[in-house]
Amino acid sequence: MTPREVVREAVARLRAAGVASPEYDAAELLAHVLGTTRSRLGLDAPELTADQAAAYDALVTRRANREPLQHLTGTTGFRYVDLQVGPGVFVPRPETELLAGWAIEHVTRIEQPVVVDLCTGSGAIARAIADEVPAAKVYAVELDEAAHGWAARNLAGTGVELRHGDMADAFPELDGTVDVVVCNPPYIPLEAWESVAPEARDHDPHLALFSGQDGLDAIRVLERRAAVLLKDGGVVGAEHADAQGESAPAVFAATGRWRDVRDNRDLAGRPRFVTARLAASV
């Protein structure tokens, strides 16, 4: 069969399986098998070899079973960098690029900025900041052992200082010296288990997904730790679920430690991440 024919068949299989982006995924998987990129994929090329067709069919079957596309290709793009991902690490979402962009915008205004990325996961945000702001000193921490291993791969050679540990007491030597704290914490309420897409629920580490009955437990920990890490006037940004556009900012507003508490929307107009500035000490 030609590339066009196998992709057409794969699209139908993926759509029937409930995959959200069957055309994109089918093309990405074929490009992966052929060792090229989706943009360079020639659907009018000669027929696939038997080995290529078999390899593609196996990947399409796995994707139809809702295994994440990025686990099958082994990589994902995040802003201007490519990350290695696979089983055991949360696959960074496009929406998180907005949070990273917010952090980068603040960091570029500061001479020799210090940045801490809590719950770094794959290392996506820390890697993007180090890539786009070479003058920044970036620190990152991850609790999950498997995810920490992926972060170590992605942050190797970047200058980012990565540690394996809990964000609740991370980097005590930096207390009161940090300019920007950024975090993509777990934020899904335990009661929302059934509503989570199979790609995330069945393949992403639960430590990166669920955070107490209301989904805000990790954000409460973040608020407390960021208040200690940041210097006066330092800023924090944290992603949250689109249903938490009021409750996530309220975590910060309720303590009296923060000013300029506001929520920020994604490109689809949905509440996506909260930002706040540490008030000056009295």
Phi, psi dihedrals of residue 117, rounded to the nearest 5°: -105, 105
pLDDT of residue 81: 96
- pTM of the complete model: 0.87
Distances (CA, A) of 63 to 2, 28, 139, 193, 205: 20, 11, 35, 21, 18
Would you state the pLDDT for residue 192?
54
b/e per residue, 129-158, with b = 16+ CB within 10 A?
bbbbbeebbbbbbbbbeebbebbeebbeeb
Tens of pLDDT along 185-218? 876 665 654 555 665 555 565 555 555 567 788 8
Torsion over CA of 260, 189, 226 and 168, rounded to 10 degrees?
170
Topology given in CATH for the domain delimited by 81-278: Rossmann fold (3.40.50)
Is residue 119 within 8 A of residue 131, CB to CB? The reply is no
For the chain, which residues make up each domain, given as ranges?
3-65, 81-278
The mean of the pLDDT values for the chain is 89
How far is Cα 257 from Cα 14, in angstroms, rounded to an integer?
Answer: 49
Query: What is the C-alpha radius of gyration for the chain, rounded to an integer number of angstroms?
Result: 20
In the numeric block, which tokens belong to residue 231? Answer: 């210097």
pLDDT in tens, the chain (282 residues): 888 889 999 999 999 999 989 999 999 999 999 988 887 887 767 788 999 999 999 999 999 999 889 999 999 999 999 999 998 888 898 899 999 999 999 999 999 999 999 999 999 999 999 999 999 999 999 999 999 999 999 999 999 999 999 999 999 999 999 999 999 987 666 565 455 566 555 556 555 555 556 778 889 999 999 999 999 999 999 999 888 889 999 999 999 999 999 999 998 999 999 999 999 764
